[in-house]
Structure 1
Amino acid sequence: MDFSEYGLTLFKQAQLYAPENLGRQDLLVAGGKIVAIAPHIEATVIPGCEVIDLNGAILCPGFIDQHVHLIGGGGEAGPHTRTPEVRLSRLVEAGVTSVVGLLGTDGITRHPESLLAKTRALEAEGISAWMLTGAYSLPSPTITGSVDRDVALIDKVIGVKCAISDHRSSAPAIEQLAQMAAQARVGGLLGAKAGISVFHMGNSPRELEPLREILRHADVPIGKLLPTHVNRAEPLFIAALQFARDGGFIDITSSIEAPIDPATAIMRALQADVPLAQITLSSDGNGSQPKFDDRGNLTGIGVAGFESLLETLRKLVVQHKLPLEQALSPLTRNVATFLDLPQKGRLAPGGDADLLMLDDQMQLRAVWAKGKQMVRDGKACVRGTFE
């Protein structure tokens, strides 16, 4: 009997991080899923099975990047500063096998419908993708007319995003924020999804006070509210540490280098008694990186990449001496837990075969998404439709 149609692949002698360190293991993949992990799996009893001998190389879960401008962001300096759409190869070459797309400042010329189409396109091209409805402003731009209906009825929509404590936000009232978060929560319950609310954080002195007000005025669990870009300002970061100690998740942006670089932010959080499980890391990839003076005038603009995810992992392990299993968690298991994606972020039987092969210097050598190889020798071997 020919089993080749099941996509059988046996990874031999991997140094397996699930992300916990499991030591030398064999891992069997079939139909895009992990079906077995054991110290020794005999390939000769599996007809049509491809065997890949890793000879002690690191095998770990693929990264889940939960904050990416899939259809571009920006526009703060006019239409010519709109950033481009994300290409599949950029994602996989950065180790990203699962992605969550969202809108940014520009919720006028960019729309949730276009983001949904891009999300489905990336799925068709080989990785896993979801999205958030909404944008910076409230009321949230949606597809069906309301946040709760988007989350409950559209398979790819798992939550909502807005901006607070930022001069580019719509200065929403606390009642608006609370209603938005409550709608995402109920939509998540009805649609069996995370039902999360992600808050772009700016440099305003208000810091996390709007989130505290939501918790005071609504019954949305703290674990459903995520402040992101929390390493962009020292006072904001201090407030975020307390938010995490109180039971919330905090998201550190890998493309923000100052005032607190992402690796240092993670180490400081751990030293401040923040549970590792409450920390996530995302890239803000393809988002614009505008610079404003003290009067709010734009003085420069760039675009965020994805390479900062791997660079942060390397700094954590090589420079800060954080064990790899801990350094991986904010990119894998922690994100999967927050997003309620049990098939992602872990290497275990029944989970998706999203795999990264790393060398001992944390350099990316190969990537598999749902069992299909996407990167070989550090370069994409599968590209998007129009690349």
Structure 2
Amino acid sequence: MLTLIRGAQVLAPTDLGVQDVLIAGQRIVAMGESLSLQGSGVDIEVIDADGQYLTPGLVDTLSHITGGGGEGGFHTRTPAMEFSDAIRGGVTTVTGVLGTDAISRTLPDLLAKAAGLEAEGLTAVCHTGSYQVPVRTLTGSVQQDIMLIERFVGVGEVAIADHRGSQPSWRELARVGAEARVGGLLSGKAGIVSIHVGESEDYLSLLFEVAQNSDIPLSQYYPTHMNRSPGLIKDGLRFIKGGGTIDFTASHTPEILAAGEVKCASALKFALDRGADENRITFSTDGHASLPHFNKDGILESLKVGAMDAMLNEFRDAVLEEGVSISTALKAVTANPAAVLKLPNKGTLATGNDADLLLLDRDSLALKSVMAKGDWCLCDGELLKKGTFE
């Protein structure tokens, strides 16, 4: 069956005005005004999307699809993600990672979970490694993992400026970056190093040392949690000017915000007002990660779970509360992360691209419908498709 979406205002994420979009199988096959297949004899599903925005599905560059956490003991290991968690958040592409725990959470389990989510209807890629350096891999090296294991597109999230990390030197980070870079070049993948940035005021100093003392550019690294504080955001502006891309974390808690973290939507506005390149900022969910709050003595005081709908909520707040243009805010959750991951058919609406689409109410930006790989998973707010065991 073909699907024809009529009358939506298309944000690709550039505003293309009111257009019709034709989908066949898993791809967009035509876009334009007043498309018609009358008399073709083909079975067509026609969707009236008047009064709605049509946007790309959200691309999440950091989600703990197998669960994470454990900083409060075994009972605080967070649960794995379900297919519908992503769909309800408008996320059609996920990037699975390991975090603090690379002992009870493993790379084989990560790959298996990603393959399962892919079979259920999402697009799922992964990073090899975790917080620790030396990096844990499956084949013995980062380069081999990226080259030989199809789903691995990079490495991380490697922790810096965090008491839970392995306290790597700039030389160790340069070596990881070099391996990932070559693996990416030889396989045509992103080959990025996802960097978890903690609460230390060292900020991005290690990454700047790498760029200053080696041939590895800042663009090889992709630091996340960059909205932990205004000071870290300012360091991120310097990172952007050096050619890198930074990521703001959409999931938060009242405790974390009270400790100084800047709300994701506000961080975007803060950065843009200071001249940041809108093409070098992304949001991610940090979905199903633990969100621990430690006191000044490093003792865990609370722990909550990252939400897969956080990125959609922060996109909405950036537009409706912070006054960021809708196309700019949309780039941060679609085109920009797709570019970081080097996924050319994701994050934008164009003929030939994957049919990962959202329909949003034009006034409230409320999520109405989700299509992933050409299948309606959510329609008019009703969940049509669930994971195997949901």
Shorter-chain TM band: over 0.9
CA 45–148 in structure 1, closer or farther in 2 if over 3 Å, else same: farther
* Alignment of 1:89 onto 2:84: yes
Query: For residue 54 of structure 2, what is the amino acid of its counterpart?
Result: L
Q: CA deviation at 1:380?
A: 2.2
Show the counterpart of 1:181. Answer: 177
Shift, 1:217, TM fit: 2.9
Residue 368 of structure 1, CA deviation: 0.1
On the 8 A contact 2:208/2:218 being kept in 1, the answer is no
Q: Secondary structure at the match of 2:271?
A: helix
2:193 maps to 1:191? no
TM-score for the superposition, normalised by structure 2 = 0.96
Q: What are the equivalent positions in structure 2 for 1:106-145 lying under 5 Å apart?
A: 106-145=101-140
Q: Could you tell me which amino acid in structure 2 is paired with residue 11 of structure 1?
A: I
> Structure 1 counterpart of 2:326, which letter?
L
Q: Distance in 2 between matches of 1:209 and 1:233?
A: 15
Structure 1 residue 292 corresponds to structure 2 residue 294: yes
Aligned to 1:352: 354
Structure 2 unpaired stretches of 5+: none
1:365 aligned to which of 338, 357, 368: 368
Task: Tell me the distance in 1 between the aligned counterparts of 2:185 and 2:17.
Answer: 38
Q: Structure 1's 45 and 194: CA in aligned 2 closer, same or farther, altered over 3 A?
A: farther
Matches within 5 A, 1:294-373: 294-360=296-362, 361-373=364-376
Q: After TM superposition, what 4+ stretches of structure 1 lie above 3 angstroms from structure 2?
A: none
Maintained 8 Å contact 1:27/1:34: yes
Give the letter aligned to residue 323 of structure 2: K
Deviates more, 1:219-228 or 1:342-351: 219-228
- 2:10 paired with 1:16: yes
> In the TM superposition, what is the alpha-carbon distance from 1:304 to its structure 2 partner?
1.0
The corresponding residue for 1:385 is 388
- The answer on whether the counterparts of 2:65 and 2:288 sit within 8 Å (CA) in structure 1 is yes
Amino acid at match of 1:236: L
Give 1:209-358 correspondences, 5 Å limit.
Answer: 209-256=205-252, 258=257, 259-358=261-360
Distance, in Å, in 2 between the alignment partners of 1:245 and 1:263 is: 21
> TM-score by structure 1 length?
0.96
Query: Over residues 326-349 of structure 1, what are the superposed CA-to-partner deviations in whole Å (9 max), with x where a residue is unaligned?
Result: 110000011111111110000000
**How far apart, in 2, do the equivalents of 1:347 and 1:326 lie?**
15
Q: Is the 8 A contact 1:101 1:130 kept in 2?
A: yes
Q: How does 1:126-165 map to 2 (within 5 A)?
A: 126-161=121-156, 162-165=158-161
Which residue in the other structure is 1:98 paired with? 93
Find the residue that maps to 1:58 and give its secondary structure.
strand
Aligned to 2:27: 33
Other structure's SS at 1:256 match: coil
1:255 is displaced (CA, Å) by: 1.1
Residue type at the aligned position of 2:366: Q
Q: Secondary structure at the match of 1:43?
A: coil
Contact 1:25/1:40 (<8 A) preserved: yes
Aligned-partner Cα distance in 2 for 1:358–1:238: 33
Q: What does residue 59 of structure 2 align with?
A: 64
Q: CA RMSD in A?
A: 1.1
Q: Could you say what secondary structure the match of 1:200 adopts? A: strand
Cα deviation for residue 218 of structure 1 reads 2.6
Q: Distance in 1 between matches of 2:237 and 2:186?
A: 31
Which secondary structure does the structure 2 equivalent of 1:67 belong to? coil
Q: After TM superposition, give the deviation of residue 205 of structure 1 in Å.
A: 1.9
The residue type equivalent to 1:370 in the other structure is K
Matched residue type, 2:389: F
Q: Which moved more, 1:214-223 or 1:202-211?
A: 214-223
- Following TM superposition, by how much is the alpha carbon of 1:45 offset from its aligned partner in structure 2, in angstroms? 4.1
Residue 171 of structure 1 corresponds to 167
Structure 1 runs not aligned, ≥5 long = none
Aligned-partner Cα distance in 1 for 2:169–2:217: 19
Q: Which moved more, 1:66-75 or 1:301-310?
A: 301-310
Aligned to 1:77: 72
Mapped partners of 1:57, 1:66: distance in 2:
26
Letter in 2 for 1:176: E
Aligned partner (choices 180, 189, 200) of residue 204 of structure 1? 200
Aligned identity (percent) is: 44
The C-alpha deviation readout for 1:180-205, integer Å capped at 9, x for no partner, is 11101111111110000010000112
**1:11–1:26 contact (8 Å) kept in structure 2:** yes
Aligned length: 381
Is the CA contact (8 Å cut-off) linking 2:28 and 2:353 kept in structure 1? yes
Given that residues 233 and 271 in structure 2 are in contact (C-alpha distance below 8 angstroms), is that contact kept between their aligned partners in structure 1?
A: no
Aligned-partner residue type, residue 344 of structure 1: K
CA distance in 2, matches of 1:200, 1:45: 55
